[in-house]
Structure 1
Amino acid sequence: MGEVKVPPDVERDIIGLPRTKPIYYDDPYLREFESKVLKVVSFEDSCYVVLDGTCFFPEGGGQLGDSGLIIGAAGKLKVVDTQAVDDVTVHIAVPVSGGVKEGDSVRGSIDWDLRYDRMRHHTGSHVLFAAIREVLGLEGLMYMGVQIKEKASRVDISYGKPISLSQLREMERLSNGVCIQNRKVKTWFTTRDEAERTYGKRLGITEVTPFGMVRAVEVEGWDVALCCGTHVGSTAEIGLIKVLERFRLQKGVERIEFTAGEHAYKYYDNAMESLTDLAQLLKSSTREVKSRVEILLEERDNLKEELERTENRLVEAQAIELLNQAEAIGEFRLLKKELPKVDAQGLKRMASTLVNRDSNLIVILGSAVDKACIVGTAGQTAVDKGINMAEMIKEASKIIQGGGGGTAKIAQAGGRDVSQLGQALDRYASDVLTKLRFPL
């Protein structure tokens, strides 16, 4: 939808004006035209101009309103958006120099590059939706709307099943086949009853259309739809359709984003440039990139496994050394240790390794890599006797200005005050000792 709309105060001044002649339907390729000003309403920083006829397409059918220039004898206006109020087309403009007034003869000039990109995308959306119908079938499929922009557009559908990547590729393949075949695109006005009677289930997109009529758009031998947008004269003008992404908006509602024309070519050009750069980095041809990446990923996985085995051996060796430092507390043993440069995951791994070796062991470890971190673990025998590491870590976590939690067997806390890590470890150990010496 366009960002600028017609304010209610302006609408009130426009009501009752005669219908604007839609020259954009007579000739969607017309870039300049002559017309007469019927109404000019100034509101805030904008001028709202109504002409007796226009080539500026007002936003509708998912297609954004045109922009361009309105030039009169006494001034020039830049049209930033075009909207429809019933059958009246409103040009939303800002002055460039001077101005225009009611009764002036003016020349309009649309931003053709934007318009043509949108025409290509709009016809492309019809071609693509027909391909969607072809691939998915009609059962359970419902058209939910489009948004037509100059660089990329989208088609929203309701469909009860997941859409696979292979189905998306087939939609794209069929769409580009229609583009290559240079099928004619024909438009005409009719009644909805007549269109439905003539085409029935063949009707694809059915957008609301103006002037009490519906506008049929037919892609020869491929699709018939009801649409108020502007379209190219043949599918070859679309050039190329590239499906970019598929999003799930909600359960059963899918959004298929695509690009067309020069923007589709640019997409492929950028993708090819990236592929070529990647091939150079891999010292391979572009055709070999996939296999080279697969080999590298396999090598990476093997290295990760080897690294994990090495780390486990180091942890085991360090665990044996740390076990000798544990303090005996009756039938239990308590180990409190600060391990510099070990992250939270490393602390948890070390603590678990230690208690797996001794079910009577209670371990309290701490480190300060990015922040203060404490991990406490108890062997199963200690847990069975009432030790709850999560309950006893609470006071320690407050000392490092953080929070923590976990289970009776293993708990973790983190905080921003690394300077108090030693004090927090002491408090944690003290609470554990108190529990061991004075169990409830």
Structure 2
Amino acid sequence: MKKIGLHEIRREFLDYFEEKGHLVVPSFSLIPKNDKSLLLIGAGMAPMKKYFTGELNPPRRRMATCQKCIRTGDIENVGKTDRHATFFEMLGNFSFGDYFKKEAIEWAWEFLTERLEIEPKALWASVYFEDTEAARIWNEDIGLPMEKIVPLGKEDNFWELEIGPSGPCSEIYIDRGEAYGCGSKDCKPGCECDRFIEVWNLVFTQFDKDEKGVYHPLAHPNIDTGMGLERIAAVMENANNIFEIKEIKKIINKIEDVSDYKYGSDKAKDVSIRVITDHIRAMTFLVGDGVLPSNEGRGYVLRRLIRRASRHGKLLRIDGTFLTDIVGEFINSWMVEYKEIKLREDHIKKIIKAEEDKFQETIDSGMQILEVYIKDMEINKETMLSGERVFKLYDTYGFPLDLTLEILEEKSLKADEREFNIQMENQRKRARTARDEGDSGWGASIDLELFKKLNSIFKGYETTKTKSKVISLVSKEKGVNSMSEGEEGMLVLDETPFYAESGGQVGDSGLIKNDSFEVEVIDTKHNKDGLIIHMIKVMEGTINLNDEVVAMVDISRRDSIRRNHSATHLLHKALREVLGEHVNQAGSIVLPNRLRFDYTHFESPTVEQLNLIEQIVNREIYNGLEVTTTEASLEEAQKQGVVGLFEEKYGEIVRIIRMGDFSQELCGGTHVINTSNIGMFKIISEGGIASGVRRIEAITGLSVYEYLNEKEEQIETLSEILKTNKIDLIDKTENLVSELKAQEKEVSELKKKLSGDLSKEVLETLVKVGDTSLVTYRVDNMDIDDLRTLGDKIKDKLDSGVIVLASVVDEKIIFLVMVTKDLNSKGILAGNIVKEVAKITGGNGGGRPNIAQAGGRDVSKLEEAFSKVVDLISDFK
């Protein structure tokens, strides 16, 4: 065999098939495009599925790729076995109605035996037992002896979906020799032992399976092949598994350096090394392709990989965060083929570091709690952790379920997942109930059966006023023929200028009238079938079914809305320019007085970045970009590079909004005709709303003018209060702040002296509850920082014990609880104690096992709260 490594094999493969007339394309993203059936790309052919089905025409009838793939179905086994991995690369050559079995088999044989110089005697093939054509090619054209062509059944050598393209397979195996075998004379491909390794699967897609299970021959059959790059590299290097490949060993060596552990010294720690090695590759490419950690979908896959790798670092006794060091080693090796990960290295490291930092906080507190639970189980000789406790770990401490299960499994314990799921569902029900209680009631009304056969044409892109006909009136969820002054209900027109709430843009309001009546349109919505429905109140007269009317949108309100909507497009583009291409819209609300824009990003933008974003948006407003609207097929829009925010909501024909050459996005909303119409843009606030999702609130137009006037008035008022003019306001404020800091420092030093003296007095209240020392003390007019200082001084003089301090400030109670670590291991936790004492006084709170704080309201119950601590500690005697 040729002495060749993983990166060289990849290049040899792609070059070989390029010589055979194949279009070699870079790996597709791990994020599937226009395929809702897949969470992530897990096979070489997956990104080209529509070429096989005929939905799309391929750029060439012959193609070849090395495709990045991720599969997480067996993530729990990664590291425990030599063959499981979440990330791998799949080499593949494909024919879309061009060549077929003969060429596929001949080229696979030629590549393996001539390019890779694998000894032909070591190669075997399997075929589907009914596929005599493939067997004949292997025997007569290739010269493989019949005894080395193994017929196997449908389970092994036939590829199919429930309906659609399907066909037989032929797999190529390498014989590693008798030393790896089971000793049986009948040992051959299909045997469960480790002697024969399958390296290449050739799929002959020659049938179209219908709903009755009948296989119809395809007029133009296809070829889909897949060869695992890591597996063939292991064969070429004579490595026992993928973790012994030279390039992957570089990652292991880096982990050895960071952990100060030598791979191969301990089986349990070797598992951790392999988990980190595998997950590093997966997380790097996921982030590189635009995935951000979150609690659902592919974001959760990424979060799980980062957290599993981080936790296995703990098992190797690595202190602090370390993953980005390993990421750098991986990028430096794989950039030979994937240059984009080097270009995005800083971004990739930032996201992984932010998630690892966040998890360090979670895992430290969660692990302490879980250790207490496990100790309880051991004392009580239990093997099942209650679902209630598992849920508490998840809900209160953010400890992932899969991590709890994994840690329990390491100790041969289990968790009551059924009870956990019940607790989760109860939480969801509570959330749903809370949402339902806040509903206005319209949502339940707009999907009435009587709307089913109606159709309304939207004219609001072209005009804000139409002559229309009333085709439906609804009052109290029933169809009516007329509505009189004071009545409220719903109305449908045959055509309307009113925009119905959609895509974050609120619905229009305005008037509908004729000589006999006037109706106020309060809101406009779509029902589930897309019908435009007006929420109305009759202001005067009587409106009748079939009346001819004039429908008029509130123009001033519509103008404000479209200014804000167009500004969201400029903002989205500016965010991507400043923060990176990973930024995507995660939701928006466009109102008349402001806009709200949610976006994906892993950290808080700096003040400088926000200023630059605001500056870019205003620059494009002042540039007066023409805003144009065109329609195209979804496929054509994607080819043009148009940004699509929520592809699952788009139909076949989409609306493209372009703002000069600066921005182009898919959008169904209403917009200004020129960016100069927006006037001005001002960011009012920015903050995080969920993991990996942030929110900007902003204003435009006259709202900015009003905002600036308000700020000017505030400056005037502040100048009067500080008795200075506006020019000297900053200097005056800085002087006052300096004086205040000096005074605060003086007060702080006095408080320290006081707390030192006070700690002696507090310790005199010490009592014993069994073997546990307990201190409870009330000291008024101390804030939480002062209480902590006092608590620390008491703790320094107390080797072991529980400290409960309370301070009353303005008739409100502040509680601080401290518990020494030796008592944590017995199950005495500060968070639990503070929650119970606060509850008695009508408050709540929580914290870590060793320190926690809470608030209370009923000062009269303070002594009762202190007494409760004795009961709580007594339970652990």
Q: Distance in 2 between matches of 1:354 and 1:51?
A: 75
Which residue of structure 2 aligns with residue 434 of structure 1? none
Partner secondary structure for residue 106 of structure 1: strand
The Cα shift of 1:253 comes to: 1.2
The Cα shift of 1:319 comes to: 9.8
Where is the strand percentage greater, Structure 1 or Structure 2? 1
Q: Is the 8 A contact 1:135 1:167 kept in 2?
A: yes
1:103 matches 2:541: no
The Cα shift of 1:201 comes to: 3.1
Which residue of structure 2 aligns with residue 26 of structure 1? 462
Q: Is the 8 A contact 1:204 1:224 kept in 2?
A: no
1:262 matches 2:695: no
| Cα distance change on mapping 1:54 and 1:207 into 2, 3 Å | farther
The root-mean-square deviation of aligned C-alpha atoms, in Å, is 5.3
Instruction: Please give the per-residue CA displacement for 1:267-307, whole angstroms capped at 9, x wherever unaligned.
Output: 22212221232233233443443343232222111111122
Q: Distance in 1 between matches of 2:614 and 2:533?
A: 37
Which residue of structure 2 aligns with residue 40 of structure 1? 473
| Cα distance change on mapping 1:98 and 1:251 into 2, 3 Å | same
Structure 2: segments with no counterpart, 5+ residues: 1-438, 478-486, 766-776, 800-804, 819-828, 844-852, 871-877
Which residue of structure 2 aligns with residue 155 of structure 1? 597
For normalisation by structure 1, the TM-score amounts to 0.71
Partner secondary structure for residue 591 of structure 2: coil
Partner secondary structure for residue 25 of structure 1: coil
Which residue of structure 2 aligns with residue 281 of structure 1? 721
Q: How does 1:391-406 map to 2 (within 5 A)?
A: none
Which residue type is aligned with residue 511 of structure 2?
A: L
| Cα distance change on mapping 1:309 and 1:150 into 2, 3 Å | same
Which residue of structure 1 aligns with residue 607 of structure 2? 165
Which residue of structure 2 aligns with residue 381 of structure 1? none
1:80 matches 2:518: no
Which residue of structure 1 aligns with residue 688 of structure 2? 248
Partner secondary structure for residue 273 of structure 1: helix
Q: Is the 8 A contact 1:87 1:210 kept in 2?
A: no
Which residue of structure 1 aligns with residue 748 of structure 2? 308
Q: Is the 8 A contact 1:209 1:227 kept in 2?
A: no
Which residue type is aligned with residue 716 of structure 2?
A: T
The Cα shift of 1:238 comes to: 0.5
Instruction: Please give the per-residue CA displacement for 1:1-54, whole angstroms capped at 9, x wherever unaligned.
Output: x953362563x212222341x221123xx3x33211222232356432221221
Instruction: Please give the per-residue CA displacement for 1:327-376, whole angstroms capped at 9, x wherever unaligned.
Output: xxxxxxxxxxx99977698899889989999x9xxxxx99988589999x
Q: Distance in 1 between matches of 2:859 and 2:497?
A: 67
Partner secondary structure for residue 34 of structure 1: strand
| Cα distance change on mapping 1:128 and 1:366 into 2, 3 Å | closer
| Cα distance change on mapping 1:167 and 1:319 into 2, 3 Å | closer
Q: Distance in 2 between matches of 1:311 and 1:109?
A: 68
1:15 matches 2:448: no
For normalisation by structure 2, the TM-score amounts to 0.38
The Cα shift of 1:226 comes to: 1.0
Which residue of structure 1 aligns with residue 662 of structure 2? 222
292-301 or 56-65, larger mean C-alpha shift:
292-301
Alignment size in residue pairs? 400
Instruction: Please give the per-residue CA displacement for 1:102-145, whole angstroms capped at 9, x wherever unaligned.
Output: 3211011222222111010001111111111211231x222222
* Alignment match of 1:50 (pick from 486, 492, 495): 492
The Cα shift of 1:183 comes to: 1.2
Q: Is the 8 A contact 2:446 2:533 kept in 1?
A: no
Which residue of structure 2 aligns with residue 203 of structure 1? 643
| Cα distance change on mapping 1:100 and 1:416 into 2, 3 Å | closer
Q: Is the 8 A contact 1:5 1:83 kept in 2?
A: no
Pick 1 or 2: higher relative contact order, CA cutoff 8 A, min separation 6: 1
Q: Is the 8 A contact 1:35 1:54 kept in 2?
A: yes
| Cα distance change on mapping 1:342 and 1:353 into 2, 3 Å | farther
Which residue of structure 1 aligns with residue 733 of structure 2? 293
45-54 or 283-292, larger mean C-alpha shift:
283-292
Which residue type is aligned with residue 462 of structure 2?
A: D
- Share of identical aligned residues, percent? 26
Which residue of structure 2 aligns with residue 380 of structure 1? none
Which residue type is aligned with residue 555 of structure 2?
A: W
| Cα distance change on mapping 1:372 and 1:153 into 2, 3 Å | closer
Q: Is the 8 A contact 2:500 2:508 kept in 1?
A: yes
* Alignment match of 2:506 (pick from 36, 60, 64): 64
Where is the helix percentage greater, Structure 1 or Structure 2? 2
Partner secondary structure for residue 637 of structure 2: helix
Partner secondary structure for residue 507 of structure 2: coil
Which residue of structure 2 aligns with residue 130 of structure 1? 573
Q: Distance in 1 between matches of 2:789 and 2:796?
A: 11
Partner secondary structure for residue 48 of structure 1: strand
| Cα distance change on mapping 1:181 and 1:318 into 2, 3 Å | closer
Q: Is the 8 A contact 1:59 1:66 kept in 2?
A: yes
